[in-house]
């Protein structure tokens, strides 16, 4: 029997005014023209509540490029979900944010690319800093719980401590320092983004110092896969807790799973969300432990890490069903070591394509 | 070297002894509420019960009969002996004098989890360190006599509702603590022979200061007011009750729901414990369960405990 999903990640669109080189969206964005309309999302939210979902993260792309975001927020709130909006901070503004809160928005995650304007705008590939800061101020004014999210990589990792101070100054309750996951555009730009070990160690010590400075701020910092010996329990396990619905209605175990070849997923509204969650062959491909091969199969940590990330296994080992190469026990761990050796300060990145 | 070590240990006490803790400052300036006084008395009793056990451990480390003969007096001071009441009994009288149920305090069933950890940490420290470090850790007694004098005066002045004979414990320590501290310091200065020994003694005393400090932190936590953290919602679905927030959902059993509903922002942690215990008269550990649950939920950031000071 399929487990109960708790969280629905609703990718409302792949469109985004920013062009961050670490974006995990698919690189073939133009292949996804269709998007679910607000009525279709409302139906997804009702079905999700039936399945046991209690939390909806509205994300993208940039969800606020949708003119019907208000309607979507209200529909998610009407289905009793905690409604959490993940935004780059534009085109959303404070006035519109107040309306969303009135419609049932319960918390906000705002991304920022670096600790000061010029660097942040350069990484985002678009002027956006001022908008982000004023949105954070609007959230504070509205007493809307705010998480600041920063994707870390070679170019901004050295400002980890300053970024945490910024989060505290903006009144964030939580700051997520998310080391880049190498999917989508990020995989393409890996050479330019992958940090050095000494940068990471410095960042980790900055985090510890910042924890003492800001005892009330929840600081999330996890050593990235490429520098850890054990894989992460990606998405809390495949098809286990989180259900992703992509802009075109595909029901997925994670936002990147559609890039894995040979997996068949279902789509709403053609199928019910329940059918797509419980029965899609792709959804069941890596559920539980039956699919595992060695070294996962006999490994005591398989119950904690679920074999790691399937997309990373495919990207680095060419086979989504093998142990995540981030694991030091993987026979493909050499691919991670090779990528670390290959990263270079002299590499330029490619900005995410415009959509 | 002995002068230098003594000065170093004194400086540690000047800077880190709990006479500087905000709770003690408030106690001595007279601004604690009756509930705060009671919470302190009930929780500090657990510390009193650990002292003779700690001293028993020190006895087992000593090879010298003369040392043991002197040190065993500390156990008698706390446990009492024929014709003389000990510190534990005097503390229970204090508990009665502040309006607590003596029997209930004596069971230590409602001790706050942080206070229990702090007191247990002291016994564990002594169990896992040598005689010199164990004696050094007892040197907080060096300030105990002074703090008791301040305390007696403050209580007589600011808390006249406490019957005067309740203060007998404090009075007894004004005599015992300086004597114990003198003997302890003499032992440390005689036996700390190398700079490394001096460092170990300093660290032991610092650790002990931390333990006393965290005991008061725990008492303050007991007076803080727990509520659901901002953005967190308590709700039901077909499988039962849960809290949902921006990053996490937590499924609750019936007790968890009751406790969170009591966390209205008007009650302190201790009052939530008492209210939950009143709902479950046949469960002696109910209040302690509530404290542990609130603590776990605070760690998960589901609950926020706001200071009411």
Do A143 and B230 lie within an 8 Å CB cutoff? yes
- Sequence-separated (6 or more) residues with CB below 8 Å from residue A2: A239, A277, A278, A283, A284, A287
Contacts of A311 (CB under 8 A, 6+ apart): A183, A234, A254, A256, A257, A259, A260, A320
A1 class by beta-carbon count within 10 Å (0-12 exposed, 13-18 middle, 19+ buried): exposed
Q: Is A333 on the interface with B (CB under 8 A)?
A: no
In angstroms and rounded to an integer, the radius of gyration of the C-alpha atoms of chain A is: 20
pLDDT tens-digit series, residues B261-283: 999 999 999 999 999 999 999 99
Could you tell me the end-to-end alpha-carbon distance of chain B, in angstroms, rounded to an integer?
Answer: 44
Nearest to A177 by CA among A155, A197, A153, A209: A153
* C-beta atoms of B301 and A80 within 8 A: no
pLDDT tens-digit series, residues B287-309: 999 999 999 999 999 999 999 87
Strands (E), B34-162: none
Nearest CA in chain B to A147: B246
What pLDDT was estimated at residue A53? 97
The per-residue pLDDT for A342 is 75
B245 touches chain A (CB under 8 A): yes
Alpha-carbon gap, residue A234 to A316, rounded angstroms: 15
* CB contact (8 A) between residue A174 and residue B246: yes
Weakest-pLDDT range from A85-89, A117-121, B1-5, B186-190: B1-5
Kindly state whether B239 is in contact with chain A, defined as any CB-CB distance less than 8 angstroms: yes
Higher pLDDT, B257 or A185: B257
Nearest by CB: A173 against B230, B242, B244:
B230
Chain A residues lying within 8 Å of B246, measured CB to CB? 82, 84, 106-107, 109, 145, 147, 173-174
pLDDT band at A355 (very low <50, low <70, confident <90, very high): very low
In angstroms, the first-to-last Cα distance of chain A is 39
Q: Which residue's entry shows tokens 């990484």?
A: A123
Enter the DSSP assignment of A232. Answer: -
Judged against a pLDDT cut of 90, whether residue A23 lies above it is answered with no
Inter-chain touch A54–B246, beta carbons under 8 Å:
no
Q: What is the pLDDT of residue A345?
A: 64
Contact B237, B248 (CB under 8 A): no
**Helix (H), strand (E) at residue A179:** strand A174-179
Strands A242-245 and A251-252: antiparallel
Residues of chain A positioned with their CB less than 8 A from the CB of B244: 54-55, 82
Reduced to 3 states (helix: H, G, I; strand: E, B; else coil), residue A104 is coil
Is the CB of A215 inside 8 Å of chain B's CB atoms?
A: no
Instruction: State both tokens at B240.
Output: 């039962």
pLDDT at A340: 80
Interchain contact A109–B (C-beta under 8 A): yes
Question: Domains along chain B?
Answer: 2-222 (1.20.910.10), 225-306 (1.10.10.1150)
The answer to whether B237 contacts A54, with C-beta atoms less than 8 Å apart, is yes
Contact status of B235 with chain A (Cβ, < 8 Å): yes
Question: Around Cβ B35, how many Cβ atoms within 10 Å?
Answer: 16
Helix (H) or strand (E) holding A334: helix A333-342
CB distance from A145 to chain B under 8 Å? yes
Asked if B83 is an interface residue toward chain A (Cβ–Cβ < 8 A), one would say no
B231 interface with A at CB cutoff 8 Å: yes
pLDDT exceeds cutoff 70 at A344 = no
3-state secondary structure (DSSP) of residue B132 = helix
Rounded to a whole number of angstroms, the distance from the CA of A145 to the nearest CA of chain B is 6
Max CA separation in chain B (angstroms):
71
Interchain CB distance below 8 Å, A143 and B233: no
CB-based contact, B240 to chain A, within 8 Å: no
CA distance B280 to chain A (A): 30
Among the listed residues A143, A152, A56, the one whose alpha carbon sits nearest the alpha carbon of residue A111: A152
CA distances from B283 to A115, B277, B280 (A): 53, 7, 6
The answer to which of A26-40, A201-215, A268-282, B122-136 has the lowest mean pLDDT is: A26-40
Token digits of residue B307: 């200071």
């Amino acid at each position: 029997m399929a487990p109960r999903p708790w969280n629905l990640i609703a990718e409302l669109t792949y469109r985004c005014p920013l062009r961050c080189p670490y974006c995990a969206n698919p690189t073939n964005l133009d292949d996804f023209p269709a998007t679910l309309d607000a009525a279709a999302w409302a139906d997804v939210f009702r079905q999700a509540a039936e399945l046991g979902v209690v939390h909806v993260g509205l994300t993208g792309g940039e969800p606020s490029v949708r003119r019907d975001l208000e309607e979507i927020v209200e529909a998610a709130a009407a289905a009793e979900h905690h409604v959490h909006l993940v935004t780059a901070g534009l085109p959303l503004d404070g006035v519109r944010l107040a309306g969303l809160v009135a419609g049932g928005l319960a918390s906000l995650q705002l991304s920022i690319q670096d600790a000061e304007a010029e660097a942040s705008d350069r990484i985002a590939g678009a002027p956006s800093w001022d908008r982000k800061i004023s949105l954070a101020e609007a959230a504070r004014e509205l007493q809307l719980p705010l998480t600041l999210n920063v994707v870390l990589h070679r170019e901004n990792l050295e400002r980890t401590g300053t970024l945490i101070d910024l989060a505290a100054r903006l009144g964030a309750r939580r700051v997520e320092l998310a080391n880049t996951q190498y999917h989508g555009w990020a995989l393409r730009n890996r050479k330019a983004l992958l940090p050095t070990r000494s940068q990471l160690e410095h960042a980790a010590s900055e985090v510890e110092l910042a924890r003492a400075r800001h005892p009330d701020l929840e600081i999330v910092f996890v050593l990235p896969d490429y520098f850890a010996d054990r894989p992460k329990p990606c998405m809390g396990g495949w098809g286990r807790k989180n259900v992703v619905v992509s802009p075109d209605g595909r029901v997925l175990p994670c936002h990147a799973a559609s890039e894995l070849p040979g997996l068949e997923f279902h789509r709403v509204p053609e199928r019910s969300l329940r059918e797509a969650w419980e029965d899609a062959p792709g959804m069941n491909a890596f559920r539980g432990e039956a699919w595992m091969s060695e070294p996962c199969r006999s490994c005591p940590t398989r119950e904690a890490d679920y074999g790691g990330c399937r997309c990373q296994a495919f990207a680095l080992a060419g086979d989504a069903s093998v142990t995540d190469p981030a694991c030091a026990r993987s026979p493909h761990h050499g691919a991670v070591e090779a990528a670390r050796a290959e990263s270079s300060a002299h590499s330029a990145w490619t900005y995410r394509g415009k959509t | 070297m002995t002068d230098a070590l003594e000065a170093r240990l004194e400086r540690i006490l000047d800077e880190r002894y709990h006479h500087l803790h905000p709770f003690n400052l408030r106690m001595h300036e007279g601004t604690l509420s009756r509930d705060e006084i009671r919470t302190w008395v009930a929780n500090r009793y657990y510390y009193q019960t650990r002292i003779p056990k700690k001293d028993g451990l020190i006895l087992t480390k000593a090879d010298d009969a003369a040392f043991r003969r002197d040190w065993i007096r500390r156990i008698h001071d706390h446990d009492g002996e024929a014709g003389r009441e000990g510190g534990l009994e005097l503390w229970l009288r204090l508990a009665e004098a502040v309006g607590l149920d003596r029997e209930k305090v004596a069971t230590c069933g409602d001790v706050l989890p942080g206070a229990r950890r702090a007191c247990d940490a002291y016994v564990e420290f002594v169990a896992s360190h040598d005689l010199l470090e164990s004696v050094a850790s007892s040197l907080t007694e060096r300030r105990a006599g002074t703090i008791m004098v301040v305390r007696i005066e403050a209580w007589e002045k600011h808390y006249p509702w406490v019957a005067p004979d309740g203060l007998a414990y404090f009075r007894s320590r004004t005599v015992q603590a300086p004597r114990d501290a003198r003997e302890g310091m003499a032992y440390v200065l005689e036996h700390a022979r190398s700079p490394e020994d001096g460092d170990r003694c300093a660290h032991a005393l610092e650790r002990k200061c931390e333990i006393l400090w965290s005991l008061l932190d725990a008492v303050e936590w007991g007076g803080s007011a727990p509520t659901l953290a901002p953005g967190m919602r308590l709700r039901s679905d077909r499988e039962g009750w849960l809290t949902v927030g921006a990053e996490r959902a937590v499924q609750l059993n019936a007790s968890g729901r009751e406790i969170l509903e009591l966390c209205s922002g008007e009650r302190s942690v201790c009052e939530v414990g008492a209210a939950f215990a009143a709902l479950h008269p046949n469960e002696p550990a109910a209040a302690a369960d509530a404290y542990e649950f609130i603590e776990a939920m605070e760690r998960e950031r589901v609950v926020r405990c706001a200071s009411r000071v």
